[in-house]
Structure 1
């Protein structure tokens, strides 16, 4: 499980990260930062504070990411489903408890997808918090399109050659999530991409449904 760094030094931010977005929340200026090499992403406070005599940026949300040539042993490579896509799998996300219910996780996903051209893919193992986040994004974000992909079939729901946008409730939940020890949906992942790009790519295709 992800362990969120509490702070980053200005030197680390300057050396390892690029600033993706800047926004205000509750009178504070926040930066979305992304390290494409690790990869990892975070939302930090723009202002520098002193922690035990050392200048640092406070981290309010952090995201662990992973590039994988395939999504598991003997499972279809997810790259086959897109062309020229920067596909990264989410391994874990953590938001400071004091900052929860402010939409920071959704903001972090949207910033990476919209400003970095990334297609985010969920982890195979979904905890309750991750499940709720994906449902929230699918239900509320007008910037991101979420699809359900069965990596073992190499096909999107409903697996008949068409592609349906998941809105947080239009696909039977038992076809997406496995409850341990049941593993029947272990090969199913959620895919989040730029909604405008998805619409353009699928425009005129009879296989695209909302």
Structure 2
């Protein structure tokens, strides 16, 4: 999952502002955040799908009222990833599965935890299961490690889409904490493609824990 800053040569094109009419027409405001005395809104368009964090206050850009975008996600709805990902767990049959194809954070807003807050809002407020892209830049790797290590609300798992199985691929499912799984089993550096089929899956930790407990009881 690429994590990019504006100006990167491989930049995914994302808006720098949204008009108030576009926000009202196309997005739901799912959470309000405070940051250094500013109010930010997490917005989500379930139809496209797309998500962003914007300044709640309206600014004038060349005489036109707009909301400034401070972070944005490039998303794609998925029912399968290579093989049928829904078949990996029956609990995903009714899941809202979204793949993250890129995240862009304004350079002035980096290192403020906005990417993590955006992930948490979508998963906890919108009931989404987020799946990483197959291609990982350093920023994406660090973001997933940070979420796995620090978030007390999101559970992260490692999925091999070619095997249709979670790590450690023995029928169980191990929670990734940012360091408990050998890194060479998750990430590969171009042109090496040995881990291309590996994705990370982020779910509501409370729901994931309950499902794992139910699965354990059913095997007893």
TM-score bracket for the superposition, by shorter chain length: over 0.9
CA distance in 1, matches of 2:67, 2:214: 47
- Matched residue, 1:153: 163
- Matched residue, 1:100: 110
Q: CA deviation at 1:3?
A: 2.5
Task: For residues 68-93 of structure 1, give each alpha carbon's deviation from its aligned partner in whole angstroms, at most 9, with x where no partner exists.
Answer: 3332xxx2122223231100000000
CA distance in 2, matches of 1:27, 1:4: 26
Under a length normalisation based on structure 1, what TM-score does the superposition of the two structures give?
A: 0.94
Kindly report which structure 2 residues correspond to 1:39-50, keeping only aligned pairs within 5 A, or say none.
39-50=49-60
Kindly report which structure 2 residues correspond to 1:1-210, keeping only aligned pairs within 5 A, or say none.
1-71=11-81, 75-81=82-88, 82-206=92-216
CA distance in 1, matches of 2:28, 2:36: 23
- Of stretches 61-70 and 104-113 in structure 1, the one that deviates more from structure 2 is 61-70
Under a length normalisation based on structure 2, what TM-score does the superposition of the two structures give?
A: 0.90
5+ residue gaps, structure 2, are 1-10
Checking the alignment, whether the CA contact within 8 Å between 2:79 and 2:97 is kept in structure 1 is: no
CA distance in 1, matches of 2:199, 2:76: 14
- Of stretches 142-151 and 61-70 in structure 1, the one that deviates more from structure 2 is 61-70
Checking the alignment, whether the CA contact within 8 Å between 1:4 and 1:61 is kept in structure 2 is: no
CA distance in 2, matches of 1:119, 1:80: 15
> RMSD value over aligned CA atoms?
1.2
Q: SS of the residue aligned with 2:142?
A: helix
Paired positions, count: 204
Q: CA deviation at 1:41?
A: 0.2
Q: CA deviation at 1:206?
A: 3.8
More helix by share: 2
Checking the alignment, whether the CA contact within 8 Å between 1:79 and 1:87 is kept in structure 2 is: no
CA distance in 1, matches of 2:80, 2:171: 22
Checking the alignment, whether the CA contact within 8 Å between 1:32 and 1:42 is kept in structure 2 is: yes
CA distance in 2, matches of 1:6, 1:163: 39
Q: CA deviation at 1:111?
A: 0.1
Q: SS of the residue aligned with 1:192?
A: strand
- Of stretches 80-89 and 147-156 in structure 1, the one that deviates more from structure 2 is 80-89
CA distance in 2, matches of 1:149, 1:169: 15
Q: CA deviation at 1:205?
A: 4.0
5+ residue gaps, structure 1, are none
Q: SS of the residue aligned with 2:193?
A: coil
